[in-house]
Structure 1
Amino acid sequence: MTETSNRDIRWIFVLLAAYFALQIGVRLATSHSLDLDEAEQAFRSQWLAAGYGPQPPFYNWLQYTVFLFAGVSLVALSVVKNILLFTSYLLYGLTAQLILRDKRLVAMATLGLLTIPQMVFEMQRDLTHTVAVFFSASLFFYGFILSLKRPSLASYLVAGIGIGFGLLAKYNFAILPAAALIAALTDARLRTRIFDRRLAVTAVAALVITLPHLFWLKDNLDFATARTLEKMTASGDASYPMQVAMGAGSLALATVGFAGLTVAVFAVVFGKSLRPALTAQSEWTRLLERMMLVFLTGILLLIVFGGAAGIKDRWLVPMLFIVPLYLCLKIEAAGVETSKAFRRFMPVIAVIMIGVPAALYGSVASARFTGHYERLNRPYASMLEILRKQAEPAAILAGDSLLAGNLRQDSSGIPVLSMDYPGFKPDLSGRRPLLLVWLIPHKGKNEALPPDMAQWLQAHLGISAPESSVIDVPYVYGRGDDSYRFGYAWVDQQN
């Protein structure tokens, strides 16, 4: 690309930087409470480990490092996520710039990511590990395409770093580099790039990055994979043919759910001129088609031979994130004129850029009118502030990680334990008073100290269950007198 054309596309990245800055502001304005993945990050930031459970540790390591310097806060959580997302879009745009000549199509490919619901909405709403997968996939894909087009030691290194980060983000990422390798090997013109000695740099970089976790995984394979396998293979008592049918059906629905809106947007803005593009081919469209084919074949094999019955659309991020770029490559290969379509495309993007932050805020703030409450409406901080007037806890035992992470955000300096993660075992000797807190989603039911908490106290501290109480706290954006109920108890409270 010339310097002029480089300047011409910089506005894309300025626009995206402003958009993700807006998303940070909206998240901070919406609620101080944390959702599931955010709470997990806050809770697990109390210790550094080579592995934490069913999700690889890349995002945990990154968030731990930021918390170490900036403190545990919603600001740190939001900034990390949106910097990762912005960097992913930047890498995607740079990749598009490598293989597209039309700068309007570069813009449409990059901004086209905003038309994918999983990318534009779900990643902002709560997801963390999937955000890490998207970042890693964008980094690897940039290094991979750069190695094919303008190979250098640096390009092979970038690809290796992307693979390393990706394998530390989610295990299903492994299908992406495998699909890229197979797709390149089947093209005689690209095959020499795979048999290049610099590929060793890719392999070494990936191995060095993943090595600490691989040692952990060797001894914790069941712990790391059991939950994911349980989700994927949950087919009840279905017969084998029914399980395969369920798996194939869920894959089809997930694919449509992931890419359907993007295809629809491109169909609307290009109209009838999109039809010739469906059959147009180029070196790059064929490469991406082979990659997607290998990727989807790998998932089908998992369905047929691995017993997978439920494929979720977010699991397709490591491959189908290339759909907007693929469509733009097809359009360019067909020689379609893009100026009118681009003018129709940008208002759609503007609506998305305004509508998504508004929807994220509105889904929580509208509770004052609808009485429908999300997790972000729960008043964790207000509850803890009230309990602190009774005593200042020296440690907290929470009923689950969602609650533990929320309490951790406002309890810096004291250990916060969770009943659903027994692996965190700080020394509680001399730490009194100990505050026990649990959620009571339905008032009037199971308000006593949960049996597992009573057993934990007996097993770890050798004490009997203390007297429990309940507290009703008004919702964030609550309607009228609506409140959320928490159960709590003190151990060795000093009066």
Structure 2
Amino acid sequence: MRNMLARRSDAAFYLVGGYFLLCVIVRLLRPDALEIDESTQAFLSQYFLVGYGSQPPFYGWLQHGLAEFFGISVATLSILKNSLLFLCCLFYGLAARQVASNRATPATAMLGVLTLPPVFFLAQKDLSHTVAALFAVSLFLFGFLRTLKAPSFGSYLITGIAVGIGVISKYNFVVVPIAAVLAILPEAALRKRIFDWRILLAVLAAVIIAAPHAYWLLHNLGNASNNTLAEMKEGGPSRHIPTFLLGTLSLTSATIQAIAPTVAVFALIFYRDIKTIARAQSEWTRVLGRMLIACFTLVLLVVIGVGATHIREKWLSLLIVLLPLYLAMKVDASGNAVELKLPRFAAVVAALVLIALAVLSGRAIVGPMLGYYSRVNTPYHAFADAILAEHGEPARILTTDGNTAGNLRTQFPNVLVEAPGGLATSELSQPLLVVWRVEGEYGEELPDRVATFLKKRDIALDGITPQYLAIPYSPDNAEKHVRFAYFWIAANQ
């Protein structure tokens, strides 16, 4: 690999593609129970809507389309996520190619993306909408830098498409194009790109893509924002520390945690030239540096404005993804022989991402050996097999929560699954399977929200008693099990 990268830095693109293919394979080898975001996407993939709730719809649209053609499964869930991550890295490298002077700089920037915790760890654990937004940021950087370097109809159009996709992927994406405009204002040669009439093409493309969801958002603003605002205010204000200071400290802490691995990897490889790299600058390092500053300044203003006290690292993903490109361009501007250090850089990144992948996979495999079972070990497949053996396939499934609904959706891919507060409003077909998880030795009664849901649809439960299944996590250990309670309502009831 060292010799190959030394001769052809473009080989890094193939290595990154191979890594994400490996991620898909490893996910298929893990238990088929779903994480939170995976189960949410499995559940929502049943519908094609302009708005789904607290998150924009782009990722849901892609997952719905994939499910329509190939069905919903762990494979389609994993393939979509890792394909978007690969495209994120691909366009990131192409963006760097627009402005780099060293042929190895694009590969360094692209590999730098893999050092970001949201990419090498959080995304492989459980992310969805953020993954789509990361792809949109990379596509935007490609179109934006191409427009600055060699403007054309195509570059403006790509930039506009990226903005449209980004807005309907994650709402905080809007910070990135605003920061980009602010970043080029001091550069006289670049500032004129804002006033080029072709920017209208970019605006039109963005509006066309975002308009359907924007219309929905205007009528559902509370539904789309309440959850996020509540999470940002977790912990509440303190009597001793002002709210704005709590928010600032939380943002600072999350930022340090988010950038630490990337800074550490670059520092490890280029430690002999840190002073030279720190002093080096170019037109592009100035633009990217201002973008980073503008992004975090805008976020800080939002944090203070809404009274946020708790900022999560993953919320900063769309901002810190600019960092590897900035650092790579600083190295590029220093005149450093990047191609000589690229093999070592790639080796460190490979070690980082493969260790993280092993740890995440080991959680589901090693945990049961130690008597620890997590969400990913829940034996939904065994429950589904038991239902099919005794009753056959239901016409409709009703459950209590989105996580159970998404998991049962992958086990019964041809059956519509509903949950109270979900999106389906049609009559419940029969035979109907009503199922919920029983925690501990109690909780056998039908949850109130499900009972209310059934009554509104004139489903009578008189004379029907729940059945129970205790499904072992492992065939070798019957003591550790999951308890399911369910009703089977036949077509003639």
**TM score, norm. by length of structure 2:** 0.94
CA-CA distance at 1:458 after TM superposition: 1.8
Task: Tell whether the 8 Å contact from 2:32 to 2:74 is kept in structure 1 after alignment.
Answer: yes
- Where structure 2 has 5 or more consecutive residues not aligned to the other structure, the ranges are none
CA-CA distance at 1:494 after TM superposition: 6.8
Query: Matched residues in 2 for 1:342 and 1:187: separation?
Result: 31
Alignment partner, residue 165 of structure 2: 165
Task: Tell whether the 8 Å contact from 2:427 to 2:457 is kept in structure 1 after alignment.
Answer: no
Alignment partner, residue 290 of structure 1: 290
Residue deviations 1:381-438, cap 9 Å, x none? Answer: 111111222213221111111110111112233221012x33321222xx22211111
Query: Matched residues in 2 for 1:143 and 1:476: separation?
Result: 51
Match for residue 486 of structure 1 among 458, 480, 484: 484
Alignment partner, residue 401 of structure 2: 400
Alignment partner, residue 187 of structure 2: 187
State the secondary structure of the residue aligned to 1:46.
coil
CA-CA distance at 1:76 after TM superposition: 1.2
Indicate how the Cα distance of structure 1 residues 9 and 343 shifts in structure 2: closer, same or farther if over 3 A, else same.
closer
CA-CA distance at 1:177 after TM superposition: 0.6
User: Mean alpha-carbon deviation: is it higher for 366-375 or for 118-127?
Assistant: 366-375
Residue deviations 1:185-220, cap 9 Å, x none? Answer: 232121011111110011000000011111111111
Q: Which amino acid aligns with 1:43?
A: F
Alignment partner, residue 83 of structure 1: 83
CA-CA distance at 1:488 after TM superposition: 1.6
Indicate how the Cα distance of structure 1 residues 61 and 381 shifts in structure 2: closer, same or farther if over 3 A, else same.
same
1:475 aligns with 2:476: no
Query: Matched residues in 2 for 1:334 and 1:139: separation?
Result: 26
Alignment partner, residue 72 of structure 2: 72
1:214 aligns with 2:222: no
How do residues 192-203 of structure 1 correspond to structure 2 at under 5 angstroms?
Answer: 192-203=192-203
Alignment partner, residue 436 of structure 1: 434
Indicate how the Cα distance of structure 1 residues 477 and 303 shifts in structure 2: closer, same or farther if over 3 A, else same.
farther
Task: Tell whether the 8 Å contact from 1:31 to 1:476 is kept in structure 2 after alignment.
Answer: no
How do residues 37-48 of structure 1 correspond to structure 2 at under 5 angstroms?
Answer: 37-48=37-48
Indicate how the Cα distance of structure 1 residues 147 and 339 shifts in structure 2: closer, same or farther if over 3 A, else same.
closer
Task: Tell whether the 8 Å contact from 2:36 to 2:126 is kept in structure 1 after alignment.
Answer: yes
CA-CA distance at 1:372 after TM superposition: 2.1
Task: Tell whether the 8 Å contact from 1:366 to 1:477 is kept in structure 2 after alignment.
Answer: no
Query: Matched residues in 1 for 2:43 and 2:181: separation?
Result: 38
Alignment partner, residue 378 of structure 2: 378
Query: Matched residues in 1 for 2:475 and 2:35: separation?
Result: 16
User: Mean alpha-carbon deviation: is it higher for 244-253 or for 138-147?
Assistant: 244-253
User: Mean alpha-carbon deviation: is it higher for 29-38 or for 157-166?
Assistant: 29-38
How do residues 221-232 of structure 1 correspond to structure 2 at under 5 angstroms?
Answer: 221-232=221-232
Task: Quote the RMSD (CA, aligned, Å).
Answer: 2.1
Query: Matched residues in 2 for 1:105 and 1:23: separation?
Result: 25
User: Across the two proteins, how many residue pairs are aligned to each other?
Assistant: 487
Query: Matched residues in 2 for 1:240 and 1:462: separation?
Result: 54
Query: Matched residues in 2 for 1:58 and 1:463: separation?
Result: 39
Indicate how the Cα distance of structure 1 residues 422 and 114 shifts in structure 2: closer, same or farther if over 3 A, else same.
closer
Residue deviations 1:165-197, cap 9 Å, x none? Answer: 000101111110111111112321210111111
User: Mean alpha-carbon deviation: is it higher for 208-217 or for 388-397?
Assistant: 388-397
Q: Which amino acid aligns with 2:482?
A: Y
Query: Matched residues in 2 for 1:81 and 1:401: separation?
Result: 19
Query: Matched residues in 1 for 2:442 and 2:133: separation?
Result: 40
Q: Which amino acid aligns with 1:180?
A: A
Percent of residue pairs identical:
38
Alignment partner, residue 412 of structure 1: 413
Query: Matched residues in 2 for 1:144 and 1:193: separation?
Result: 10
Indicate how the Cα distance of structure 1 residues 171 and 478 shifts in structure 2: closer, same or farther if over 3 A, else same.
farther
**TM score, norm. by length of structure 1:** 0.93
- Where structure 1 has 5 or more consecutive residues not aligned to the other structure, the ranges are none
Alignment partner, residue 445 of structure 1: 442
Alignment partner, residue 263 of structure 1: 263
Task: Tell whether the 8 Å contact from 1:247 to 1:308 is kept in structure 2 after alignment.
Answer: yes
Q: Which amino acid aligns with 1:319?
A: L
Query: Matched residues in 1 for 2:25 and 2:343: separation?
Result: 29
CA-CA distance at 1:462 after TM superposition: 4.6
How do residues 13-52 of structure 1 correspond to structure 2 at under 5 angstroms?
Answer: 13-52=13-52
Task: Tell whether the 8 Å contact from 2:380 to 2:411 is kept in structure 1 after alignment.
Answer: no
Q: Which amino acid aligns with 2:419?
A: S
Q: Which amino acid aligns with 2:400?
A: G
State the secondary structure of the residue aligned to 1:416.
strand
Query: Matched residues in 1 for 2:47 and 2:343: separation?
Result: 50
Residue deviations 1:82-139, cap 9 Å, x none? Answer: 1111111110011111112223332221111111111111112111101000011111
CA-CA distance at 1:239 after TM superposition: 5.0
